[in-house]
Amino acid sequence: MAETSSELEGPDFQAGCEIDTVPDGGMLAGHAFGEAILVAKKGPELFAIGATCTHYGGPLAKGLIVDCTVRCPWHHAHFDLRTGEAIAAPALNDTSCWKVETRDGRFFVTGKTNKKSSRKPKSSPANVLIVGGGAAGNAAAEMLRHEGYNGGVTMISGDECLPYDRPNLSKDYLAGSAPEEWIPLRSADFYREQKIEALTNTSVTGIDPRSKQVTLSNGRSLSYGALLLATGAEPVRLKIPGGDLPHVCYLRTLTDSRRIIEKTKEAKRPVVIGSSFIGLEVAASLRQRKLEVAVVGKASLPLEKILGRKLGELIQQTHEAHGVKFHLGRTPTVIEDRHVRLDDGTTLDCDLVIIGIGVRPNTALAEKAGVAIDDGVLVDEFLQTNVPGIFAAGDIACWPDPRAGRIRVEHWVVAERQGQTAARNILGAREPFVVPPFFWSNHFDLHIRYVGKGRGDHQVQISGDLKANDASVTFRSNDKVTAVATINRDFANLRTEVAFERGDEFRAV
Ligand SMILES: Cc1cc2nc3c(=O)[nH]c(=O)nc-3n(C[C@H](O)[C@H](O)[C@H](O)COP(=O)(O)OP(=O)(O)OC[C@H]3O[C@@H](n4cnc5c(N)ncnc54)[C@H](O)[C@@H]3O)c2cc1C
Ligand code: FES
């Protein structure tokens, strides 16, 4: 959790409201029985569901209605307007659903209702093993149950913790503004109730596709009917003298983030090596802890390769305005107890080093099992690998995106959505994965949302005012829109997502 919305606002739906105040295809935020509710109209039908997104509390009434769903403006979760069900990540919990009655041209919200229908999968493998307990693995496990699958579900994770909100590890949690209890995605009780066996501290060491068996680090063997590979990625290690000193940290896991936080109790001058998303988010969070932060980056401008010059400059200026010192176009040559030395002879004082120079997908297990690999695990549009019964999702999956061709990305929402799609396909849905890639990144008060798959050297068009934190940046290649990044224009970002889905790139602004 990071951002939260809304006190109760708008009309009292219990007292009633003119039907005409809700536009056809539109929404109205209000309240009833002390809860925030949105009422949506589609032709003659009125729907009422909880108005607050169950992910981070986004205001759903400021989102977008698509078919019979509403999409959250903040990170694009989908909720079913008929039932309040969370049907696409990153929201995992349903919102409430309310009864609406009409009389004399007015509507009234008269109480809560439960319209969830029970589901039955098309096919049911004997059991499902999920390798990995991160974004994709957890979302898949939950979706299997949501779809009514009753067979065994085992989620095996090398991590010592149950699944947690990884994006928060470099943001509010690291900054000290999100408490530890916001970080787990689910409690141990949740997995017990859902009959999901969630193994932690346990790695899968081998897969035998012929006998459909996996071996675990604790010596056990498990058989599977279907297998999902969701092993994620791990940080690239910096191999320079001093790279393994005790004050040198990486950030991938909750344990890593806790370790950095522990060290900030003594440290005053951290040096962040790497000026991409994670490095910069770490820098922003450590500044919020009032530390003197320096960032060393190989590129001459942060994130230029991904976001282009103008956004790169804005991000750098935002960090500088908050006191972050940059050493760009530089690489570190040696790390010492109290210093980092750079290739131009500069010596930076430091008592903590955090390295964020990229990640590498964890594909060794898949490769050993004979699964086809090429910059990630190759999957088809149904997220199936070349090995029957084995699917892959998340940071490791390299899939055929209908717009960008074969891609692999490292985005939270993509990983969760792929986990959800893979789960449905394991149950016979044959649903292609066509979701446009989406990610967000926070730098102090600069919150960027990005949809599509562009590159910094694509043609860039800016509408709005970057300096005022109110802009859309459209990336084009060969006259086709490849991506749109927005700042404080969440609705434009949602509209672009829908335009991409409909193959309507030219209206994607
Ligand atoms: C600090 C940080 C901040 C981020 N912020 C954002 C953000 O703001 N927005 C965004 O879109 N994305 C963000 N990301 C990226 C996002 O978190 C990843 O894209 C996402 O977690 C990928 O999900 P995944 O399930 O593929 O892998 P992971 O979440 O990494 O999970 C992989 C799991 O597999 C386990 N595993 C690996 N090998 C084995 C094995 N052999 N046996 C058993 N288990 C194994 C691991 O222990 C882990 O539990 C961030 C990432 C980090 C590290
Ligand atoms: S707050 Fe709604 S998707 Fe994140």
In tens, the pLDDT along 370-420 reads 999 999 999 999 999 999 999 999 999 999 999 999 999 999 999 999 999
Which two three-digit tokens encode residue 165?
Answer: 């909100």
- When pLDDT is averaged across residues 304-326 and rounded to a whole number, the result is 97
Residue 417 alpha carbon to ligand 1 centre in Å: 13
State how far the Cα of 230 lies from the Cα of 233, in Å rounded to an integer: 9
> What is the pLDDT, as a whole number, of residue 443?
94
DSSP 117: P
Q: Are 196 and 92 in contact (CB under 8 A)?
A: no
- When pLDDT is averaged across residues 17-42 and rounded to a whole number, the result is 96
Residue 90 alpha carbon to ligand 2 centre in Å: 7
> What is the pLDDT, as a whole number, of residue 197?
98
* Residue 469 clears pLDDT 60, i.e. is over it: yes
Which regions of 365-458 does DSSP assign to beta strands (E)? 377-378, 390-392, 397-401, 405-407, 438-443, 446-452
Residue 89 alpha carbon to ligand 2 centre in Å: 9
Quickly state the pLDDT bin for 505 (edges 50, 70, 90).
low
Q: Which atom of ligand 2 is nearest to the CA of 58?
A: 1
Residue 91 alpha carbon to ligand 2 centre in Å: 6
- Residue 169 Cβ < 6 Å to ligand 1: yes
Phi and psi at 349, nearest 5°, equal -70, 140
Quickly state the pLDDT bin for 1 (edges 50, 70, 90).
very low
- Residue 128 Cβ < 6 Å to ligand 2: no
State how far the Cα of 248 lies from the Cα of 242, in Å rounded to an integer: 8
> What is the pLDDT, as a whole number, of residue 178?
95
Cβ–Cβ contacts within 10 Å for residue 209, how many? 17
- When pLDDT is averaged across residues 419-433 and rounded to a whole number, the result is 98
> What is the pLDDT, as a whole number, of residue 506?
56
State how far the Cα of 319 lies from the Cα of 438, in Å rounded to an integer: 23
* Residue 463 clears pLDDT 70, i.e. is over it: yes
- Residue 497 Cβ < 6 Å to ligand 1: no
- Residue 92 Cβ < 6 Å to ligand 2: no
Residues 6+ apart with CB under 8 A from 316: 301, 302, 326, 328
Q: Tell me the pLDDT of the chain averaged across its residues.
A: 96
Ligand 1: which of 138, 161, 166, 216 to mutate, most ligand atoms within 8 Å of CB?
166
* Residue 508 clears pLDDT 90, i.e. is over it: no
